[in-house]
Amino acid sequence: MRLKDKVALITGASSGIGRATAKTFAADGAAVAVAARRSDELDDLVAEIRAGGGNATAFKTDVSQAADVRRLVDHTVETLGRLDFAVNNAGIEGRFAPVTELPDEEWDRVLGINLKGAFLCMKYEARAMLSAGHGGAIVNVGSVNSFLGAATGSAYVASKHGMIGLTTSASAELAPQGIRVNLVCPGVIDTPMHRRLREDIGDEVYDQGLIPNIHLQRAGRPEEIAEAIVFLCSDAASYITGTTLTPDGGFTLTL
């Protein structure tokens, strides 16, 4: 119960890493506010956390819309009393296409959710933390594509590259006021997004071409990334800010 009496806000919490992160925060004693665009999945998550004795609330949110994000943060503080930790995990892979063929509106959609969404979340999360005066910790969720390119993935990769600059800049601004900001860049993790990738490239390419490049020879579990995120929010990481943690099983060391 290392996070007892604390409050965490997690976006993109309806599945995958976000869902696992919300459950890990709750297991460690924090009250959690969960946000996503799919309200049914959020309601199921809240029910699961409450059934386990935790405290949770859900708020349907499109992180690319400033009004939605502002209402989300207000709801969190009004319902749970404060905001100590924020995990900006909402994101989409979007459409992969050659840069010569990618529609302008698809670029805008991916950057709007992945990068602008993280900016908007930090903007209102940090305001709430600064107003309360007790500091806090923010973790943005990037990807190994925050520093690796991918053919036909220009929008997704650009959005994840931008997370590094966004995180380090916010850390420089907010650290003197007691708010730490870090970035987690997962590798190949068994989430719905990566299951779609496996379907796209085929089992043979996935199993024989991708997995052998991971030192641990397997995809990661969402719970493993959740533990890294909660660590960065906890007092155990009190001297860590502006950094990038890459839980990827050694994937980027091979490439």
Condensed to tens digits (0 to 9), the pLDDT of residues 140-188 reads 999 999 999 999 999 999 999 999 999 999 999 999 999 999 999 999 9
Ranges assigned E (strand) in 135-231: 136-141, 179-184
CA angle 111, 174, 27 (to 5 degrees): 80
Q: Which two tokens stand for residue 199?
A: 């379907």
Tokens 């892979």 belong to 93
156 included as an active-site residue: yes
Percent of the chain with pLDDT over 70: 100
Residues 124, 156, 206, 239: which is the catalytic one?
A: 156
Count the neighbouring beta carbons within 10 Å of the beta carbon of residue 45. Answer: 24
Q: How far apart are CA 33 and CA 100, in angstroms?
A: 40
pTM: 0.96
Rounded to the nearest integer, the mean pLDDT of the chain is 96
Tell how far CA 16 is from the center of its chain.
Answer: 10
Q: Topology of 7-189+221-249 in CATH?
A: Rossmann fold (3.40.50)
Q: How far apart are CA 142 and CA 114, in angstroms?
A: 9
Percent of the chain with pLDDT over 90: 90
Q: Would you say residue 137 has pLDDT above 90?
A: yes
Pick from 38-42, 121-125, 186-190, 204-208: least confident: 204-208
> For residue 255, what pLDDT is reported?
66
Q: Which two tokens stand for residue 153?
A: 């993935």
